[in-house]
Amino acid sequence: MKMSGVPFCDSFSTTDTSYIRQNGSFTASLCRFSTFIFAANQFDFALIHLDTMTASLLAGCAHLVLLICPPGFELFIFPLLQDTENGFFMDVNKQVSMVCSQLAQDPKLKGGYNAMGFSQGAQFLRAVAQRCPSPTMKTLISVGGQHQGVYGLPRCPGESSHICDIIRKALNDGAYTDIVQKHLVQAQYWHDPLNDDLYKKHSLFLADINQERAVNETYKKNLQLLDKFVLVKFLNDTVVDPVDSEWFGFLKTGQAKETETLQESVLYKEDRLGLAAMDKAGKLVFLATEGDHLQFTQEWFKKNLLPFLH
């Protein structure tokens, strides 16, 4: 269903009770599985909703929408996928393919667009950039995305607890089976450093977009078309494990304690995805903010992210 041409900026007031406030900041927790695209063409901004969201979840993200609606700008919203459950159970590759198809058919995007993804929506959007160069994605903002995947659980008691390892093992025993890979979204970016060969062979989504099995030169070329790739890391994140994944870092292969940065990784050293070249060209932007997963102040958003959408 499309609602093209429906103004959205004035749909919510700044006193809307759907906003979630915690200690003077607001959280985008309801937007956790959300992806937005801001079109940069004849309209000042257009908003396309990529990931799965119901009307109530969209209302929960209203505050974010208001922040990117300066006076005189019109914002248009286009819901692409209608079932919130798709954010948990629909094959990510299928979701990306559907999004690419709709983007290519929308004439309003032919001039290119800027994109912002929240949490898992960020790595889904990166797949769009790598696989679908037309229309052109100009800027990609990843807000708490897990670009090297996860090997932990939300609110897990911590590395000192054996519970984490027990549950990890239980998930890993089934995470790379064909049926789980195709039907559980979170399994599609589950990254087990203790079973690297298993991950590389059976991960249907993350291993592919991260060039783990082979280098797809098209992916590499397309990602480098970005003018800017902004990566936001939450320093007190209790959801993403390891949090280094938000900056393309991860656990060193063969163990689950020590981490390495993007710059220390094979992905960067061999420049399998073009990130090293982008870094040298000044296209990579690493931002950090205090707070838990997807929690930041309005002032921080306006100062650090909004400029990339103009």
What domains, with CATH codes, occur in the chain? 9-16+24-309 (3.40.50.1820)
Apex CA 225: angle with CA 247 and CA 66, to 5°?
Answer: 65
Amino acid letter, residue 257: K
Catalytic residue among 51, 192, 237, 244: 237
Apex CA 111: angle with CA 107 and CA 113, to 5°?
Answer: 100
Give the pair of three-digit tokens for residue 303: 């100062």
pLDDT for res 92:
85
195 three-class SS: helix
Catalytic residue among 49, 63, 191, 293: 293
Q: What whole-number distance in Å separates Cα of residue 296 and Cα of residue 25?
A: 6
- Indicate if 119 belongs to the active site: yes
pLDDT for res 15:
32
DSSP 8-class letter at 150: B
pLDDT for res 161:
60
- Indicate if 25 belongs to the active site: no
In this predicted model, what pLDDT tens digit does every residue of 129-159 receive, in sequence order?
Answer: 999 999 999 999 999 999 999 997 766 645 5
pLDDT for res 120:
84
In the chain, which stretches have pLDDT less than 50?
1-34, 39-60, 62, 72-85, 157, 160
Report in angstroms the alpha-carbon separations of 98 from 88, 91, 95, 124, 132: 16, 11, 5, 12, 11
Q: Is the distance from CB of 172 to CB of 190 less than 8 angstroms?
A: yes
Q: Which residue, 205, 250, 253, is CA-closest to 93?
A: 205
Residue carrying the six token digits 């789980």 = 180
Catalytic residue among 34, 51, 106, 119: 119
- Indicate if 237 belongs to the active site: yes
Give the pair of three-digit tokens for residue 88: 């948990």
Run of H or E residues at 59: helix 55-60
Q: In the chain, what's the furthest Cα-to-Cα distance?
A: 55
